[in-house]
Amino acid sequence: MSIGTAVNLGTGVTAPRNLSGQFALTGGLVMLLVMLLAGVTTSRIVSNAAVENTAASTALFMDSFLSPQLQSLAYGDSLPPDKVEALNRLLGVGTAQDEPFEKRFPHLEIWKRGGLVVYSSSPQLIGRRFDPPQGLAEAMAGAVSAHYADLGAAEHVERHFESEYLEIYVPVREYLSGHIIAVAEIHEQPELLQRRLFDVRARSWLTTTALTLVVMLSLFGIVHRGSRLIAAQHAALKQRIDEVRRVSDQNRTLRDKAQLASSRLAELNASYLRNVGAELHDGPAQLLGLAALKVEHVRQARTVAGRRRELQAIDTVLADALRDIRAVSKGLMLPEIESLPLCEVVARAVNLHEKRTETKVALTCGALDCEVSHAVKICVYRFVQEGLSNAFRHASRDGQSVSCQLVASLLHISVQDRGGGASGQGNVRGEAGLGLTGLRARVESLGGTFLSVTDPAGGTRLEMTLAIMETLDG
């Protein structure tokens, strides 16, 4: 799993790990290794350059006063006594080494090919041959070279060298031909060079470390900013998924409620039709049956007065049957409300109830300037009709009120009474209602909520809430 790989949260979304922390750890280790490699390489290059620069400076300096004294070596393998004496005076051989020059360059050898020492600040080496050191071969090829002294070399063992001098090999050329006639080996005290190398290495390491830190901090800033952005986007995505899940659960619940309400409404409609059938059978059908029997009595009547009495009875029975049929029809039929505004639908239901029951209803209707579907108008009409009928049947005749208002896109309608016991009217003639169960099913089938609240002080309030905007196309 690479940096930034996510782990599943169980929500279908993956959570990013701490990218900045991972980068600080992994990137820090990588940058540390790179810094060490760069530091070592740079320090070595700078140190070699410093040594070569010191060797070149020393070679130029020494060649300026050694070369005139060594030109005779172009014709032989030894120096004349006067040249040897001149070199001894220049190098202070045989005197106390108190001069700065003598302290810095305590030893000097002049080599010929084959490892022959033709001059040395240590007289016992003059005229002897030793194994040619590496620097001698390089100088004979024309290059100025610098090496730390090999304390195991024969010429150094004989002089009991204990410190590693910096040996600088300088080719000595003949003035006329430019041929290399000898090699001067200069021993330089390493303390000054070591201090210089220490300063150079310290500066190179500090520079490398500073550059590494700058690069690391810059990259860390970029990664940290990207990590925060990814974390913020992940949090927003997770929040949105939670919101989608919540809405999905809510929609599933509403769908289940709507399906249950539709099923209940279908059952209530079937029950309602059975009640209507029972009303017709027990009322108008019985009266029509009685009228049919009276017709036979009319046929069998022997006097005009008897026939008239029977006809009068038939007329009375048929009038009662017609009245009952009209009463049932009024309960089944709705007034023409499809083209009415919602507020007038509520007002018509209230007015019809007042006419049937000879009661007064307090109506409070706010601004309902919105278009709703016909199904919503029917639901509102039946809610007000059934609510007022229940209030009339189960409470006192006074104190009935209807309130409707639109808040944002939610329609709130309530029907309230003050209680006080039954009005003594029983069922309102001509009203065949579905009851509270039917109202709840009708409201919930449209996605609304139904609530029945009993006031501790007496009275009942029925409330319905419906989202209008969601039912416009219903």
Q: Which fold has domain 334-474?
A: Heat Shock Protein 90 (3.30.565)
- Tell me: the pLDDT tens digits for 391-443? 887 777 778 899 998 888 888 999 988 876 544 444 443 344 456 777 888 88
Give which of 160, 155, 152 is closest to 185, Cα–Cα: 155
Residue intervals in the chain for CATH 3.30.450.20: 13-248
Predicted pLDDT of residue 415: 92
pTM metric for this prediction: 0.42
Select the more confidently predicted residue: 98 or 84: 84
Q: How confident is the model at residue 9 (pLDDT cuts 50, 70, 90)?
A: very low
* Superfamily of domain covering 13-248: PAS domain (3.30.450.20)
Average pLDDT, the chain: 78
Q: Determine what percent of the chain is predicted with pLDDT higher than 70.
A: 85
How many Cβ atoms are within 10 Å of 361's Cβ, its own excluded?
22
pLDDT in tens, 245-282: 999 998 888 888 777 777 777 777 777 677 677 667 66
**What average pLDDT does this structure show over 166-193?**
83
Where do you find CATH 3.30.565.10 in the chain? 334-474
Mean pLDDT of 327-339: 68
Q: Has residue 152 got a pLDDT over 70? A: yes
Mean pLDDT score, 292-299: 76
Q: What pLDDT shows up at residue 434?
A: 55
